Amino acid sequence: MIRRGTREIRTAMVTGATSGIGRATALMLARLGYNVIITGRRLTLLQDLSKEIEKTSGVESYILCFDVRDKHDVFDSYDIVHESWKKHLHILVNNAGLALGADSFEKCDDNDWDTMIDTNIKGLLYVSQLVANTMKENGYGHIVNISSVAGKHVYYGGNVYCATKHAVDALTQAMRVDLLEHNIKVSSVSPGMVNTEFSLVRYKGDREKADKVYEGVKPLSAEDIASAIEFIVTRPDHVCINDMLIMPTQQAMPYYVQRDK
């Protein structure tokens, strides 16, 4: 093991660490003492996060700036990660993802479908395959996929986003079965509304529409989800939390929201 003083240094990797749940999760893992590989497309935000991690937690971070949709970019980026980091890679959090649009199926832009499918499903697969092979060599590992309540229920205008998150749910179960013999845990976290850049991205920069989603409701915060992930990754070796569905108290299901009067 890599040791700093007497402390054993382990590595974790978080995709989509430039904002929201991914950022909060990277900070949480750093606080737990992991060196963190942080990924996303926005380099300056990764650099800011890297400084914050090093300042607040004293661990190291490793920036990988890539688009998860680009298989070659993903493979080339992962390739440059130093062997000593890979050798101690305990945790992967597959978080990068997005929704685009909320229109009824027949009115949707098929470019948005491609982006969601390529990011939420194919991107997760590219990263997971690389990391699972590393974990297999190491003889242990834990993969946490960020799914959604949209992976459990469909709702009006959710169509392809819901389909991608149903796929994440299925892949989580499939990976758990396939990786069982390699001592790799696979978990998922399925949140309801979380106040991040998610809605702003979904409504393509329309702040009014994005804010309306959270009107009269106290949504979850990115830190609420990071603390759920903290619980999952700190269970003893023999315990695997398969899935955690987490909702704001004011949201029973995607469409059932009790807003303040």
* Catalytic residue IDs: 161
- Residue 41 to residue 111: CA distance in whole angstroms: 19
Residues 78-107 that bind ligand NDP (CB under 6 A): 95-98
Nearer residue to ligand NDP within complex by CB, 103 or 137: 103
Please report how close the Cβ of residue 251 comes to ligand 8X3 at its closest, in angstroms.
8
Establish if 149 lies at the interface with ligand 8X3 (CB under 6 A): yes
Residues 229-258 that bind ligand NDP (CB under 6 A): none
Least separation in angstroms between residue 31's CB and ligand NDP is 18
Question: Which letter, b or e, does each residue of 92-109 get, where b requires 16 or more Cβ atoms within 10 Å of its Cβ?
Answer: bbbbbbbbbbbeeeeebe
Token pair of 173, please? 């179960």
CA distance 71 to 105: 28
Cβ atoms of 189 and 147 closer than 8 Å: yes
**C-alpha to C-alpha distance for 8 and 35, rounded to whole angstroms:** 10
Smallest distance from ligand NDP to CB 184, Å: 21
Q: Which of 16, 101, 141, 248 is the binder for ligand NDP (CB under 6 A)?
A: 16
Residues with Cβ < 8 Å from 232, sequence gap 6 or more? 142, 144, 187, 189, 241, 244
Interacting residue with ligand 8X3 among 18, 77, 145, 148 (CB under 6 A): 148
Binding site for ligand NDP (CB under 6 A): 16-22, 40-42, 67-69, 95-98, 119, 146, 148, 191, 193-194, 196-198, 201, 222
